[in-house]
Amino acid sequence: MRARYPDIEGHVERDGVNVGYEVFGEGEPTVLLLPTWTIIHSRFWKMQVPYLSRHYRVVTYDGPGNGRSDRVRDPERYSADSYALDAEAVMQACGVQEAIVVGLSLGAAYGVRLATLRPHLVTGLVMIGASIPLTLSSPEREATFERFLEPPGDSPQGWQKYNLAYWHSNYHDFVEFFFTQCFSEPHSTKPIEDSVGWATETGPGILEAEALNSPPSEPWDEIVSRLSCPTLVIHGTKDRISPHARGERAAELSRGELLAMEGSGHIPNVRDPVKVNRALRDFVERVAS
């Protein structure tokens, strides 16, 4: 059973693709919780929705490729620019003029794009475990990106599993490996199980399309520097997916606040939800006043 069910469920069609959204509560202002890498869907906000919706209107939606949205195979539907347009469409469908926008991991990049392409829609932006390439990732991860399209070795280990052919042959093993890396904190069995479960609702074909999307036309550090709304960056110091230095850089470039989570991994909103929830609420209150 969910702790909180949506008050409104709906779909919005944008350029032939259905995007499923949910609305909780009716307080002001609105908090828009963005999708992230489509390997999981909007249920990864399950620890935030019940709390935030007691105070604000909360809108979540599934990006293309997972949850209640269409399983699109067109890589361009997975660009950050396209996600920004999906978010705009969802806000319009829900009658939301502006929102405080929260993104996790790749979702932080989508949020940055929304706030720079459509600044009037975003009154504040929170970037959690931001996967925005403002600094290099770990050397072992960077190495796997280069061999992503090459054949995997006989028995790939660790980040070698981040490989297109391996996804197609051993999707479940990759997914387990990946979320074990996301949740670097001890005693994370339930968050890993949850994420692996949500990952089964999509598959390697979708992730392949996502992987081939085009980056924005200008460098990310310039885009982040252009943000004009208040920002809060939340980043774990034990983030193995996107290094903590990226969070520091994002806060610096956006002239925002930084909440460093000592000992936390890539998805602190799930693993340390109390701290993240309260930080979100504080931020919303400050921005809204």
Partner 1 sequence: MRAILPTHVGSVTNDGVEISYEVYENDGPTLLLIPPSPITHSRIYKGQLPYLSRHFRVVTFDGRGNGRSGRPTGRRQHTRAKNVADIIAVLDGTRTDRAILTAHCHANWWALDLALSHPERVDALVAIEPGVPFFGTPHQHWKDSGETWGEILEDPRGWQLFNRHLIVTDLERWVSFFFDAQLVERHSTKQLEDAVSWAMETTGEILADSEEAQDIDPPTREEFVAFVEGLQVPVLVIHGDQDVCQRVDKGRDLARATKGDLLVIEGGGHLTLARDPVKVNRAIKRFSDKTTGANVSVQTWTRGLNRRKRALYLSSPIGLGHARRDLAIVEELRKIEPDLHVDWLAQDPVTRVLEAAGETTHPASEWLASESGHIASEASGHDLHCFQALRRMDEILLANFMIFQEVVEEGDYDLIVGDEAWDVDHYWHENPELKRGSHVWMTDFVGYLPMPSGGEHEAYLTADYNAEMIEHIARFPRIRDRAIFVGNPDDIYPETFGPDLPKIRDWTEDHFSFSGYITGFTPPTADEALEIRDELGFDPDEKVCVVTVGGSGVGQDLLEKVIDAYPLAKARVPELRMVAVAGPRIDPGALPSHPGLEVLGYVDRLYRHLSVCDLAVVQGGLTTTMELTAAGRPFLYFPLRNHFEQNFHVRHRLEQYGAGAHMDYSATDREGIAEAIARQVDRPVDYRPVETDGAARAARMIAELI
* C-alpha span between 231 and 250 (Å, rounded): 9
Contact 160/136 with Cβ under 8 angstroms?
no
Q: For partner 1, give the closer residue by CB, 149 or 288.
A: 288
Type of residue numbered 218: E
**Least Å distance between CB 272 and partner 1?**
6
| Sheet with strand 8-14: strands edge to edge | 8-14, 17-24, 57-61, 30-33, 99-104, 122-128, 231-236
* Residue 119 phi, psi (nearest 5): -60, -30
Q: For partner 1, give the closer residue by CB, 172 or 278.
A: 278
* C-alpha span between 112 and 232 (Å, rounded): 12
Contact 134/251 with Cβ under 8 angstroms?
no
Binding footprint of partner 1 on the chain (CB under 8 A):
185-186, 251, 256-264, 272, 275, 286, 289
* C-alpha span between 266 and 131 (Å, rounded): 9
**Least Å distance between CB 251 and partner 1?**
7
**Least Å distance between CB 103 and partner 1?**
20
**Least Å distance between CB 259 and partner 1?**
5
Contact 11/68 with Cβ under 8 angstroms?
yes
* C-alpha span between 42 and 3 (Å, rounded): 15
**Least Å distance between CB 18 and partner 1?**
39
* C-alpha span between 34 and 69 (Å, rounded): 13
Q: For partner 1, give the closer residue by CB, 154 or 262.
A: 262
Give 51-118 as a DSSP string: HHHHHSEEEEEPPTTSTTS-----GGGGSHHHHHHHHHHHHHHHT-S-EEEEEETHHHHHHHHHHHHS
